[in-house]
Amino acid sequence: MNARAPRVYSTQAIVIGQREFVEAAKIITILTPDIGKQDSVAKGILKPKSRLAGHLEPGTYCDLELAVGKNLDIIREAQTISRFRASQQNLMRLTTLVYVLELVDKYTVDGTGSDLFEPLLVTLKRLDIGENLSAVVHGFELMLLEITGFRPSLNQCVNCLSDVNSVQANWSQDGGGIVCGQCVSLVPNTSLIEPKVLKVLRAYQSWPYEESARITIDSYLEAQLSKIMHGLMKAFAERDIKSADLLEEVSWRKELPEGRVIS
């Protein structure tokens, strides 16, 4: 006799996002360590006495019990493990959290991305503690690209594959890496990459996090790093990543002198 597949299962999950569904229900997009990204239904979540509502906000790490549904699985119970509360109270960290979740959403399709669960969880924890934001976010971007098969080439020319050990190089966003001096005329749309930026990116890509988090980044360098990485993330995702623009705006505003009128 064949064993029947269980109708109800439990899993840990990180809530990636949610959208309106019929009546008081919402579709919750979650990332789980076994299945990866999946859409599930939270019935009655919009009702004031819903026992699910507070546990399924984007960025929440939770325990879920789901029932197998015909099309989408139904969330029966949810219990928050961590809401990363400190991140929710700081604009820069909250915007970064939203950006990281959008990246996971844009780089995965249903049923994939289970190997992103641990890196995402670690990133959310680091954000919450308030560690070096540059190392946390760019480290995650590089890890995400590596896991999804888009590892940027920071030590080899993307055209001729020759080793480039120098930090004097050109950057090709469409090629996804650096271009050596000999190939620069052969690759369209290249631009100079600042030696410091390349040096830091190489460190973020190859050093353990504990070491790369010790690198001190000033606001100018961070702006350059963000520009390069946001461009790369949008190019590989082949669509706009709206929270990247918001993150740049929030970072820029943080640099304004106090009391200046924002228009």
CA angle, corner 127, sides to 91 and 214, nearest 5? 115
DSSP output for 69-131: -SSSEEEEEEEEEE--HHHHT-HHHHHHHHHHHHHHHHT--TT--GGGHHHHHHHHHHHHHT-
Does residue 105 bind another protein (CB under 8 A)?
yes
Query: Judged by CB under 8 A, which stretch of 85-93, 141-149, 179-187, 213-221 contacts another protein?
Result: 85-93
Whichever of 31 and 158 has its CB closer to another protein, that residue is 31
String of contacts with another protein for each residue 193-232, x by CB under 8 A: ----------------------------------------
Question: Contact with another protein (CB under 8 A): which of 91, 109, 129, 186?
Answer: 91
Q: C-beta of 253: minimal distance to another protein in Å? A: 6
Closest separation in Å from C-beta 70 to another protein: 15
Shortest separation between residue 120's beta carbon and another protein, angstroms? 15
The verdict on 69 binding another protein (CB under 8 A) reads no
SS3 218: coil
Task: Say how far apart CA 115 and CA 19 lie, in whole Å.
Answer: 24
Residue carrying structure tokens 């997009």: 29
Residue closer to another protein (CB basis): 81 or 192 = 81
Does 251 participate in binding another protein (rule CB under 8 A)? no
Q: Report long-range pairs for 86-95 (Cβ below 8 Å, ≥24 apart).
A: 86/128, 86/129, 86/130, 87/59, 87/124, 87/127, 87/128, 88/59, 90/130, 91/250, 92/133, 92/250, 92/251, 92/254, 93/127, 93/128, 93/130, 93/133, 95/243, 95/246, 95/247, 95/250
Q: Which of 110, 146, 249, 255 binds another protein (CB under 8 A)?
A: 249
Compute how many residues bind another protein; rule: CB under 8 A.
46
The span from the CA of 201 to the CA of 113, in Å, is 24
Closest separation in Å from C-beta 58 to another protein: 4
Residue 237: which H helix or E strand, with range? helix 219-237
Cα separation of the two ends of the chain: 70
Site map (CB under 8 A) of another protein, residues 12-51, x = contact: -----x-xx-xxx-----------------------xx-x
By CB under 8 A, name the one of 101, 116, 127, 179 that touches another protein.
Answer: 101
259 counts as binding another protein under rule CB under 8 A:
yes
Out of 31, 98, 135, 164, the residue judged to bind another protein by CB under 8 A: 98
Amino acid at site 192: L
* Chain residues that interact with another protein, rule: CB under 8 A: 17, 19-20, 22-24, 48-49, 51, 53-55, 57-59, 80, 82-83, 85, 88-91, 94-95, 97-99, 101-102, 105, 240-243, 245-246, 249-250, 253, 256, 258-262
